[in-house]
Amino acid sequence: MKLLRHYLLMLPALAAGLGIPVAAAAANAAEPAIPAVAGSAAAPLEAPVPVTPEHFLPQLAAQLATHFRPDGELQLDLLRNWTAPATPASAWEMTVVAPPPSLAPQLIVRVRLVSAQRSLGEWNLPLRVRLWADAFVARQPLPRGQFLDTALFDLRRTDFIHDKEAVPASTALESLSAARGLGVGAVLSWRDVVRRSLVQRGSRVEVLAGSGALTITMKGLAMQNGALGETIVVRNPESRRDFSAVVTAENQARVTF
């Protein structure tokens, strides 16, 4: 500091000897400025995401989907207006406090807003619930007893919460037949189908009877209809005795001793 004070005292004389105005010399003697470095300033922080339904309803839907594992896409909507809290300064999540016992068209769900591992409040939210997936729609008139196949249907996006009886497009139709007639454009429901009978009453059935490695094949008369895996009564046409057999394929059954 003494050396700096001595230099400043000497500055007028030096300036006069060099022909420099004293004010200019004093300015040049000041501490030099540090040049700005491109990009050294901190980048502005993004504005925090507001707590709005468009942001937290997908979070709640994902949590409920993980809990219930429904076959389709779960969609939630608020049934009435909701006053949003102040936007948290850091990242936040809306969590389900306790899942409802089951999915229904309308639910009241207890939720909690969490930010920085702190609870910022809890609310009971009234929600409308929809579950979207593809359903079968008849492409042509289908008579009762028609064996079903995917070629007979188009697909339509359907709310399975509202239409609980609709048959989802993931269902294998080959084992089903129409329990009643369907018109064009009708959504296939579980009330419209029955398990397809692979064995018809009065038809001839090939029966495989076996015990261990020993098996024999015989012909029998079906005394009732039967779908795959069902047990039916079969009559031996020679002895006229009835026995039970399990349907394994079309007009085929098996007996195990």
Q: What is the CATH number of the domain that holds 191?
A: 3.90.1210.10
Asked if the structure places residue 226 within a domain, the reply is yes
User: Strand pairing partners for 197?
Assistant: 227
CA distance 184 to 34: 81
Asked if the structure places residue 42 within a domain, the reply is no
Which of these, 62, 67, 124, 114, lies nearest to 93 by C-alpha position?
114
In this structure, the answer to whether residues 92 and 64 fall within a common structural domain is yes
Asked if the structure places residue 8 within a domain, the reply is no
In this structure, the answer to whether residues 217 and 191 fall within a common structural domain is no
pLDDT value of position 240: 93
User: What single-letter DSSP state applies at residue 100?
Assistant: -
In this structure, the answer to whether residues 243 and 206 fall within a common structural domain is yes
In this structure, the answer to whether residues 83 and 120 fall within a common structural domain is yes
What tokens were used for 50? 């507001």
Domain boundary among 88, 104, 130: 130
pLDDT value of position 19: 39
CA distances (Å), origin 144, targets 182, 196, 210: 8, 12, 37
In degrees rounded to 5, what are phi and psi of residue 192?
-90, -5
In this structure, the answer to whether residues 113 and 144 fall within a common structural domain is no
Asked if the structure places residue 224 within a domain, the reply is yes
Domain boundary among 79, 113, 130: 130
Asked if the structure places residue 213 within a domain, the reply is yes
Asked if the structure places residue 21 within a domain, the reply is no
Evaluate whether 206 touches 234 at the Cβ level (below 8 Å).
Answer: no
- pLDDT per position in the chain (257 positions), as tens? 444 444 444 444 433 433 334 444 444 444 333 232 233 333 332 447 899 999 999 999 999 999 999 999 999 999 999 888 888 888 999 999 999 999 999 999 999 999 989 999 999 999 999 999 999 999 999 999 999 999 999 999 999 999 999 999 999 998 899 999 999 999 999 999 998 888 999 999 999 988 777 888 999 999 999 988 899 999 999 999 999 999 999 899 999 77
pLDDT value of position 182: 96
In this structure, the answer to whether residues 136 and 168 fall within a common structural domain is yes
pLDDT value of position 108: 96
Q: Total domain count for the chain?
A: 3
Evaluate whether 234 touches 244 at the Cβ level (below 8 Å).
Answer: yes
Evaluate whether 227 touches 247 at the Cβ level (below 8 Å).
Answer: yes
Angle between helices 22-29 and 2-18 (to 10 degrees): 140
In this structure, the answer to whether residues 191 and 205 fall within a common structural domain is no
Asked if the structure places residue 120 within a domain, the reply is yes
Q: Name the strand (E) or helix (H) holding 63.
A: helix 53-68
CA distances (Å), origin 13, targets 31, 32, 36, 93: 20, 22, 34, 71
Q: What is the CATH number of the domain that holds 202?
A: 2.30.30.760
Evaluate whether 111 touches 126 at the Cβ level (below 8 Å).
Answer: no
In this structure, the answer to whether residues 209 and 247 fall within a common structural domain is yes
pLDDT value of position 112: 96
Find the domain containing 206 and state its range: 198-256
In degrees rounded to 5, what are phi and psi of residue 172?
-80, 115
Give pTM, 2 decimals.
0.66
Which of these, 201, 235, 199, 197, lies nearest to 218 by C-alpha position?
235
In this structure, the answer to whether residues 174 and 221 fall within a common structural domain is no
Asked if the structure places residue 222 within a domain, the reply is yes
In this structure, the answer to whether residues 122 and 170 fall within a common structural domain is no
Domain boundary among 150, 171, 195: 195
In this structure, the answer to whether residues 126 and 147 fall within a common structural domain is no
In this structure, the answer to whether residues 122 and 79 fall within a common structural domain is yes
